[in-house]
Amino acid sequence: MTTPRVLAIVLAGGEGKRLMPLTADRAKPAVPFGGIYRLVDFVLSNLANGQFLKIVVLTQYKNHSLDRHISRTWRLSAMLGNYVTPVPAQQRLGPQWFAGSADALFQNLNLIYDEMPEHVIVFGADHIYRMDPRQMVEQHVESGTDVTVAAIRQPLTMADQFGVIEADPAGRRIVAFREKPIDAVGLPDAPDQIYASMGNYVFRTQPLIDALREDALDPASRHDIGGNIIPMMVKSGGAEVYDFADNVVPGSTERDRGYWRDVGTLDAYYDAHLDLISAHPVFNLYNDRWPIYTGHDPLPPAKFVHNEGERVGRALDSLVSPGVIVSGGTAVSSILSPRVVLHSHSLVEESVLMDSVSVGRGAMIRRAIIDKNVIIPDGARIGYDLDHDRSRFAVTRHGVVVIPKNEVVER
Protein backbone atom coordinates (compact mmCIF):
# COMPACT_ATOMS: atom_id res chain seq x y z
CA MET A 1 0.00 0.00 0.00
CA THR A 2 1.31 3.45 -0.94
CA THR A 3 2.11 5.57 2.10
CA PRO A 4 -0.59 8.25 2.34
CA ARG A 5 0.27 11.92 2.65
CA VAL A 6 -0.53 12.89 6.23
CA LEU A 7 -0.31 16.17 8.15
CA ALA A 8 -0.45 16.01 11.96
CA ILE A 9 -2.00 18.87 13.93
CA VAL A 10 -1.59 18.96 17.70
CA LEU A 11 -4.10 21.06 19.63
CA ALA A 12 -2.06 22.72 22.38
CA GLY A 13 -4.05 25.87 23.06
CA GLY A 14 -5.68 24.73 26.29
CA GLU A 15 -5.73 27.18 29.18
CA GLY A 16 -5.69 24.46 31.84
CA LYS A 17 -7.66 26.30 34.52
CA ARG A 18 -8.11 23.13 36.57
CA LEU A 19 -4.33 22.77 36.83
CA MET A 20 -3.86 26.15 38.46
CA PRO A 21 -1.45 27.24 39.92
CA LEU A 22 0.77 25.10 37.65
CA THR A 23 -0.69 26.92 34.63
CA ALA A 24 -0.41 30.42 36.08
CA ASP A 25 2.58 31.21 33.83
CA ARG A 26 2.52 28.42 31.24
CA ALA A 27 0.15 26.66 28.86
CA LYS A 28 -1.20 23.32 30.00
CA PRO A 29 0.82 21.29 27.44
CA ALA A 30 4.01 22.96 28.75
CA VAL A 31 3.47 21.74 32.32
CA PRO A 32 6.42 19.55 33.40
CA PHE A 33 5.80 15.85 33.95
CA GLY A 34 7.86 12.91 35.15
CA GLY A 35 10.92 14.92 36.10
CA ILE A 36 12.34 15.79 32.68
CA TYR A 37 9.37 15.93 30.28
CA ARG A 38 6.59 18.32 29.30
CA LEU A 39 3.05 17.06 28.70
CA VAL A 40 3.32 17.87 24.99
CA ASP A 41 6.32 15.52 24.63
CA PHE A 42 4.07 12.45 24.88
CA VAL A 43 1.88 13.18 21.86
CA LEU A 44 4.85 14.44 19.84
CA SER A 45 6.83 11.29 20.67
CA ASN A 46 3.93 9.09 19.58
CA LEU A 47 3.72 10.90 16.26
CA ALA A 48 7.50 10.91 15.72
CA ASN A 49 7.86 7.23 16.61
CA GLY A 50 5.05 6.54 14.16
CA GLN A 51 7.01 8.38 11.42
CA PHE A 52 4.48 11.19 11.07
CA LEU A 53 7.04 13.96 10.77
CA LYS A 54 5.10 16.93 9.44
CA ILE A 55 3.58 18.34 12.62
CA VAL A 56 2.11 21.71 13.51
CA VAL A 57 1.33 22.56 17.12
CA LEU A 58 -1.46 25.11 17.54
CA THR A 59 -0.90 27.26 20.64
CA GLN A 60 -2.77 30.14 22.22
CA TYR A 61 -2.66 30.83 25.97
CA LYS A 62 0.62 31.73 27.72
CA ASN A 63 2.51 30.05 24.92
CA HIS A 64 6.05 31.38 25.45
CA SER A 65 7.51 28.44 27.39
CA LEU A 66 5.69 25.94 25.16
CA ASP A 67 6.93 27.57 21.96
CA ARG A 68 10.46 27.76 23.37
CA HIS A 69 10.41 24.09 24.39
CA ILE A 70 9.21 22.94 20.97
CA SER A 71 11.63 25.19 19.09
CA ARG A 72 14.63 24.06 21.16
CA THR A 73 13.76 20.38 21.49
CA TRP A 74 11.76 19.27 18.49
CA ARG A 75 14.09 20.07 15.58
CA LEU A 76 13.62 17.62 12.73
CA SER A 77 15.46 17.44 9.43
CA ALA A 78 14.36 20.32 7.21
CA MET A 79 16.40 18.77 4.40
CA LEU A 80 13.97 15.83 4.39
CA GLY A 81 10.93 18.11 4.67
CA ASN A 82 10.21 17.19 8.27
CA TYR A 83 9.20 19.67 10.94
CA VAL A 84 7.50 20.31 14.27
CA THR A 85 6.32 23.91 14.15
CA PRO A 86 4.53 25.83 16.90
CA VAL A 87 1.85 28.08 15.42
CA PRO A 88 0.41 30.69 17.82
CA ALA A 89 -3.06 32.15 17.36
CA GLN A 90 -2.62 34.68 14.56
CA GLN A 91 -6.14 36.15 14.28
CA ARG A 92 -5.97 35.55 10.54
CA LEU A 93 -9.75 35.94 10.12
CA GLY A 94 -10.29 38.92 12.40
CA PRO A 95 -9.57 40.20 15.90
CA GLN A 96 -10.67 37.13 17.84
CA TRP A 97 -8.96 34.22 19.56
CA PHE A 98 -9.86 30.59 18.92
CA ALA A 99 -13.50 30.08 19.88
CA GLY A 100 -12.97 26.30 20.18
CA SER A 101 -10.95 23.44 18.78
CA ALA A 102 -12.82 23.45 15.46
CA ASP A 103 -12.33 27.19 15.14
CA ALA A 104 -8.59 26.69 15.79
CA LEU A 105 -8.47 24.40 12.75
CA PHE A 106 -10.66 26.73 10.67
CA GLN A 107 -8.44 29.73 11.41
CA ASN A 108 -5.42 27.67 10.30
CA LEU A 109 -6.78 26.09 7.13
CA ASN A 110 -3.85 27.67 5.31
CA LEU A 111 -1.59 25.09 6.98
CA ILE A 112 -3.65 22.31 5.41
CA TYR A 113 -3.74 24.03 2.02
CA ASP A 114 0.05 24.44 2.10
CA GLU A 115 0.63 20.70 2.54
CA MET A 116 -2.50 19.36 0.77
CA PRO A 117 -2.37 16.03 2.60
CA GLU A 118 -4.77 13.19 1.92
CA HIS A 119 -5.45 12.81 5.63
CA VAL A 120 -5.14 15.00 8.70
CA ILE A 121 -4.32 13.68 12.16
CA VAL A 122 -5.70 15.88 14.95
CA PHE A 123 -4.47 14.91 18.43
CA GLY A 124 -4.67 16.62 21.81
CA ALA A 125 -1.56 17.63 23.73
CA ASP A 126 -2.29 16.95 27.36
CA HIS A 127 -2.64 13.20 27.92
CA ILE A 128 -0.12 10.66 29.18
CA TYR A 129 -0.02 7.55 27.01
CA ARG A 130 1.81 5.58 24.34
CA MET A 131 0.10 4.90 21.05
CA ASP A 132 1.24 3.78 17.62
CA PRO A 133 -0.80 6.13 15.41
CA ARG A 134 0.11 4.18 12.27
CA GLN A 135 -2.38 1.48 13.23
CA MET A 136 -5.20 3.99 13.60
CA VAL A 137 -4.32 5.64 10.28
CA GLU A 138 -4.20 2.23 8.55
CA GLN A 139 -7.73 1.42 9.75
CA HIS A 140 -8.92 4.85 8.68
CA VAL A 141 -7.44 4.61 5.17
CA GLU A 142 -8.72 1.08 4.61
CA SER A 143 -12.24 2.01 5.72
CA GLY A 144 -12.47 5.09 3.49
CA THR A 145 -14.49 6.85 6.18
CA ASP A 146 -14.48 10.63 6.66
CA VAL A 147 -13.26 10.51 10.26
CA THR A 148 -11.95 7.89 12.67
CA VAL A 149 -12.20 8.63 16.39
CA ALA A 150 -9.89 6.92 18.89
CA ALA A 151 -11.71 5.53 21.91
CA ILE A 152 -10.71 3.88 25.13
CA ARG A 153 -12.93 1.45 26.96
CA GLN A 154 -14.18 2.73 30.31
CA PRO A 155 -16.72 1.39 32.84
CA LEU A 156 -20.35 2.12 31.98
CA THR A 157 -20.73 3.71 35.42
CA MET A 158 -18.26 6.45 34.37
CA ALA A 159 -20.08 7.40 31.16
CA ASP A 160 -21.16 10.77 32.58
CA GLN A 161 -17.49 11.83 32.74
CA PHE A 162 -16.66 11.41 29.03
CA GLY A 163 -17.67 12.08 25.50
CA VAL A 164 -19.27 8.70 24.72
CA ILE A 165 -19.18 6.98 21.33
CA GLU A 166 -22.05 4.65 20.48
CA ALA A 167 -21.24 2.17 17.69
CA ASP A 168 -23.36 -0.08 15.52
CA PRO A 169 -23.66 -3.81 16.36
CA ALA A 170 -20.54 -4.54 14.32
CA GLY A 171 -18.62 -2.19 16.61
CA ARG A 172 -17.04 0.15 14.05
CA ARG A 173 -19.48 2.67 12.55
CA ILE A 174 -20.41 5.46 14.97
CA VAL A 175 -24.16 5.98 15.33
CA ALA A 176 -24.05 8.60 18.10
CA PHE A 177 -21.50 10.84 19.83
CA ARG A 178 -22.80 12.14 23.16
CA GLU A 179 -21.23 14.42 25.77
CA LYS A 180 -21.36 12.96 29.32
CA PRO A 181 -24.66 11.06 28.99
CA ILE A 182 -26.45 9.68 32.05
CA ASP A 183 -28.23 6.96 30.05
CA ALA A 184 -25.38 5.48 28.03
CA VAL A 185 -25.66 1.96 26.65
CA GLY A 186 -22.89 -0.64 27.03
CA LEU A 187 -20.87 -2.06 24.14
CA PRO A 188 -22.20 -5.06 22.18
CA ASP A 189 -19.22 -7.18 23.24
CA ALA A 190 -18.97 -5.72 26.77
CA PRO A 191 -22.28 -4.46 28.24
CA ASP A 192 -20.50 -3.04 31.29
CA GLN A 193 -18.19 -0.81 29.19
CA ILE A 194 -18.48 2.24 26.95
CA TYR A 195 -16.25 3.84 24.34
CA ALA A 196 -14.85 7.10 25.71
CA SER A 197 -13.38 9.52 23.20
CA MET A 198 -9.64 10.09 23.61
CA GLY A 199 -9.73 13.38 21.69
CA ASN A 200 -7.64 11.87 18.87
CA TYR A 201 -8.97 11.96 15.32
CA VAL A 202 -7.94 11.10 11.77
CA PHE A 203 -9.83 12.91 8.97
CA ARG A 204 -9.96 12.71 5.22
CA THR A 205 -8.89 16.18 4.22
CA GLN A 206 -11.74 17.43 2.05
CA PRO A 207 -14.58 16.29 4.36
CA LEU A 208 -12.74 18.00 7.23
CA ILE A 209 -12.44 21.27 5.30
CA ASP A 210 -16.12 21.11 4.30
CA ALA A 211 -17.22 20.46 7.89
CA LEU A 212 -15.07 23.29 9.28
CA ARG A 213 -16.49 25.75 6.76
CA GLU A 214 -20.07 24.71 7.53
CA ASP A 215 -19.45 24.93 11.27
CA ALA A 216 -17.89 28.40 10.97
CA LEU A 217 -21.15 29.71 9.47
CA ASP A 218 -23.29 28.37 12.33
CA PRO A 219 -23.77 31.09 15.00
CA ALA A 220 -25.20 28.54 17.44
CA SER A 221 -22.13 26.28 17.29
CA ARG A 222 -19.56 25.99 20.06
CA HIS A 223 -17.02 25.34 17.31
CA ASP A 224 -15.79 22.23 19.07
CA ILE A 225 -14.48 19.13 17.28
CA GLY A 226 -16.07 16.67 19.69
CA GLY A 227 -19.24 18.65 20.25
CA ASN A 228 -19.93 19.83 16.68
CA ILE A 229 -17.70 18.43 13.93
CA ILE A 230 -17.89 14.75 14.92
CA PRO A 231 -21.73 14.74 15.37
CA MET A 232 -21.98 16.41 11.95
CA MET A 233 -19.95 13.58 10.38
CA VAL A 234 -21.83 10.93 12.37
CA LYS A 235 -25.08 12.28 10.95
CA SER A 236 -23.75 11.91 7.41
CA GLY A 237 -22.69 8.32 8.15
CA GLY A 238 -19.00 9.02 7.73
CA ALA A 239 -17.56 8.27 11.19
CA GLU A 240 -15.89 5.17 12.62
CA VAL A 241 -14.35 4.32 15.98
CA TYR A 242 -10.83 3.02 16.58
CA ASP A 243 -10.57 0.81 19.68
CA PHE A 244 -7.43 1.78 21.59
CA ALA A 245 -7.38 -1.74 23.05
CA ASP A 246 -6.30 -2.97 19.60
CA ASN A 247 -3.23 -0.73 19.55
CA VAL A 248 0.04 -2.60 20.07
CA VAL A 249 3.05 -0.42 20.87
CA PRO A 250 6.49 -1.99 20.29
CA GLY A 251 8.14 -2.84 23.60
CA SER A 252 4.97 -2.53 25.68
CA THR A 253 4.12 -5.01 28.44
CA GLU A 254 0.76 -6.42 29.47
CA ARG A 255 0.94 -4.20 32.55
CA ASP A 256 1.33 -0.89 30.74
CA ARG A 257 -0.44 -1.72 27.47
CA GLY A 258 -3.50 0.48 27.00
CA TYR A 259 -2.40 3.05 29.58
CA TRP A 260 -4.01 6.47 29.02
CA ARG A 261 -4.49 9.23 31.56
CA ASP A 262 -6.19 12.57 31.27
CA VAL A 263 -4.19 14.80 33.63
CA GLY A 264 -6.62 17.69 33.50
CA THR A 265 -6.92 18.06 37.27
CA LEU A 266 -4.27 18.39 39.96
CA ASP A 267 -5.28 15.09 41.58
CA ALA A 268 -5.14 13.27 38.23
CA TYR A 269 -1.76 14.88 37.50
CA TYR A 270 -0.45 13.76 40.90
CA ASP A 271 -1.82 10.21 40.56
CA ALA A 272 -0.25 9.85 37.10
CA HIS A 273 3.14 10.60 38.64
CA LEU A 274 2.68 7.85 41.20
CA ASP A 275 2.02 5.47 38.30
CA LEU A 276 5.67 5.94 37.25
CA ILE A 277 7.59 4.88 40.32
CA SER A 278 6.80 1.31 41.31
CA ALA A 279 9.20 -1.54 40.56
CA HIS A 280 6.85 -2.61 37.75
CA PRO A 281 5.25 0.72 36.88
CA VAL A 282 1.77 1.04 35.42
CA PHE A 283 3.31 3.40 32.87
CA ASN A 284 6.83 2.39 31.91
CA LEU A 285 9.16 5.23 30.92
CA TYR A 286 11.92 2.70 30.15
CA ASN A 287 10.55 1.32 26.87
CA ASP A 288 13.44 2.10 24.55
CA ARG A 289 11.58 0.71 21.53
CA TRP A 290 9.06 3.56 21.81
CA PRO A 291 10.97 6.33 23.64
CA ILE A 292 9.49 9.53 24.99
CA TYR A 293 11.68 12.30 23.60
CA THR A 294 12.48 15.59 25.28
CA GLY A 295 15.26 18.16 25.59
CA HIS A 296 18.02 18.02 28.18
CA ASP A 297 20.17 20.75 29.67
CA PRO A 298 23.86 19.81 30.00
CA LEU A 299 23.62 18.72 33.64
CA PRO A 300 25.85 16.35 35.60
CA PRO A 301 24.56 13.03 36.97
CA ALA A 302 22.51 12.99 40.15
CA LYS A 303 24.61 12.86 43.31
CA PHE A 304 23.92 11.27 46.71
CA VAL A 305 26.25 12.36 49.50
CA HIS A 306 26.76 11.70 53.23
CA ASN A 307 26.60 8.33 54.94
CA GLU A 308 26.93 9.12 58.63
CA GLY A 309 24.44 7.56 61.05
CA GLU A 310 21.00 9.01 60.20
CA ARG A 311 22.53 11.53 57.82
CA VAL A 312 22.35 9.46 54.65
CA GLY A 313 21.61 10.74 51.17
CA ARG A 314 19.21 8.30 49.54
CA ALA A 315 16.16 7.89 47.30
CA LEU A 316 13.80 4.91 47.42
CA ASP A 317 11.10 4.04 44.85
CA SER A 318 11.71 7.40 43.20
CA LEU A 319 12.67 9.02 39.91
CA VAL A 320 15.78 11.17 40.22
CA SER A 321 16.70 13.51 37.37
CA PRO A 322 20.11 14.83 36.24
CA GLY A 323 21.58 17.61 38.34
CA VAL A 324 19.86 16.51 41.56
CA ILE A 325 21.88 16.57 44.79
CA VAL A 326 20.56 14.52 47.70
CA SER A 327 22.83 15.76 50.48
CA GLY A 328 22.02 13.73 53.55
CA GLY A 329 18.27 13.85 52.88
CA THR A 330 15.77 11.16 51.93
CA ALA A 331 13.27 10.89 49.08
CA VAL A 332 10.64 8.15 49.15
CA SER A 333 8.13 7.46 46.36
CA SER A 334 8.82 10.84 44.79
CA ILE A 335 9.84 12.52 41.56
CA LEU A 336 12.85 14.84 41.76
CA SER A 337 13.26 17.06 38.72
CA PRO A 338 16.58 18.53 37.52
CA ARG A 339 18.59 20.66 39.95
CA VAL A 340 16.53 19.71 43.01
CA VAL A 341 18.55 19.81 46.24
CA LEU A 342 17.66 17.94 49.42
CA HIS A 343 19.67 19.07 52.42
CA SER A 344 20.62 17.01 55.45
CA HIS A 345 17.88 15.25 57.44
CA SER A 346 15.16 16.45 55.07
CA LEU A 347 12.41 13.99 54.11
CA VAL A 348 10.32 14.07 50.93
CA GLU A 349 7.55 11.47 50.61
CA GLU A 350 5.07 10.84 47.79
CA SER A 351 5.77 14.24 46.24
CA VAL A 352 6.57 15.83 42.90
CA LEU A 353 9.38 18.40 43.02
CA MET A 354 9.98 20.41 39.87
CA ASP A 355 13.14 22.07 38.59
CA SER A 356 15.46 23.79 41.09
CA VAL A 357 13.42 23.21 44.24
CA SER A 358 15.56 23.49 47.37
CA VAL A 359 14.51 21.59 50.49
CA GLY A 360 16.13 22.90 53.64
CA ARG A 361 17.80 21.03 56.45
CA GLY A 362 15.32 18.99 58.50
CA ALA A 363 12.33 20.00 56.36
CA MET A 364 9.59 17.43 55.83
CA ILE A 365 7.29 17.24 52.79
CA ARG A 366 4.47 14.78 52.26
CA ARG A 367 1.99 14.44 49.36
CA ALA A 368 2.85 17.69 47.61
CA ILE A 369 3.42 19.13 44.15
CA ILE A 370 6.05 21.87 44.32
CA ASP A 371 6.64 23.98 41.22
CA LYS A 372 10.05 25.20 40.07
CA ASN A 373 12.41 27.50 42.01
CA VAL A 374 10.57 27.08 45.32
CA ILE A 375 12.69 27.38 48.46
CA ILE A 376 11.58 25.25 51.42
CA PRO A 377 13.30 26.60 54.57
CA ASP A 378 15.01 24.58 57.27
CA GLY A 379 12.56 22.72 59.49
CA ALA A 380 9.46 23.50 57.41
CA ARG A 381 6.50 21.09 57.34
CA ILE A 382 4.41 20.67 54.19
CA GLY A 383 1.50 18.24 54.02
CA TYR A 384 1.32 17.49 57.74
CA ASP A 385 -1.25 20.12 58.74
CA LEU A 386 -3.64 20.61 55.82
CA ASP A 387 -5.65 23.32 57.56
CA HIS A 388 -2.49 25.40 57.94
CA ASP A 389 -1.43 24.55 54.38
CA ARG A 390 -4.81 25.73 53.00
CA SER A 391 -4.23 29.14 54.53
CA ARG A 392 -1.23 29.70 52.26
CA PHE A 393 -1.34 27.20 49.36
CA ALA A 394 -3.77 25.30 47.17
CA VAL A 395 -4.84 21.92 48.56
CA THR A 396 -6.67 19.48 46.30
CA ARG A 397 -9.81 17.55 47.11
CA HIS A 398 -7.64 14.50 47.85
CA GLY A 399 -5.32 16.42 50.17
CA VAL A 400 -2.35 17.15 47.88
CA VAL A 401 -0.61 20.46 48.66
CA VAL A 402 0.37 22.50 45.59
CA ILE A 403 2.95 25.30 45.86
CA PRO A 404 3.33 27.71 42.90
CA LYS A 405 6.65 28.49 41.24
CA ASN A 406 9.17 30.96 42.71
CA GLU A 407 7.54 30.80 46.15
CA VAL A 408 9.68 31.39 49.22
CA VAL A 409 7.93 29.34 51.87
CA GLU A 410 7.82 30.50 55.46
CA ARG A 411 8.19 28.00 58.27
- Domains located in the chain, CATH noted: 6-273 (3.90.550.10), 303-403 (2.160.10.10)
Q: What is the pLDDT of residues 114-157, one digit of tens each?
A: 999 999 999 999 899 999 999 999 999 999 999 999 999 999 99
Q: Where are the beta strands (DSSP E) in 192-343?
A: 193-204, 239-243, 260-262, 303-305, 307-308, 311-312, 314-316, 319-320, 325-327, 330-332, 335-336, 341-342
197 is in an annotated binding site: yes
Q: Is residue 188 pLDDT above 90, yes or no?
A: no
Tell me if 180 is assigned to a ligand binding site: yes
If you average pLDDT over every residue of the chain, what do you get?
A: 93
> What's residue 92's pLDDT?
60
Which pLDDT value is given to residue 93?
Answer: 58
Structure confidence by residue, pLDDT tens digits, 87-119: 887 666 555 667 788 999 999 999 999 999 999
pLDDT band at 321 (very low <50, low <70, confident <90, very high): very high
Higher pLDDT, 205 or 408: 205
Q: What angle do CA 72, 43, 199 make, to 5 degrees?
A: 140
Q: Tell me which amino acid residue 65 is.
A: S
CA 293 to chain centre: 13
Cα separation values, 299 from 43, 221, 336, 400, Å: 25, 49, 14, 30
Nearest to 30 by CA among 86, 97, 98, 101: 86
Confidence of residue 1 (pLDDT cuts 50, 70, 90): low
At 313, is the pLDDT very low, low, confident or very high (cuts 50, 70, 90)?
A: very high
163 is in an annotated binding site: yes
Could you give the percent of the chain with pLDDT greater than 70?
98
What is each CA distance from 85 to 47, 69, 70, 101, in whole angstroms?
A: 13, 11, 7, 18
φ/ψ of residue 268, rounded to 5: -65, -40
Residue 322: name the closest of 34, 38, 42, 36 by CA. 36
Using only the alpha carbons of the chain, give its radius of gyration: 22
Digit-coded pLDDT (tens) for 225-274: 988 999 999 999 999 999 999 999 999 988 889 999 999 999 999 999 99
The reported pLDDT for the residue numbered 13 is: 75
pTM of the model: 0.95
Q: CB atoms < 10 A from the CB of 15, how many?
A: 13
Q: Is 235 annotated as a binding residue?
A: no
The pairing of strands 127-129 and 260-262 is: antiparallel
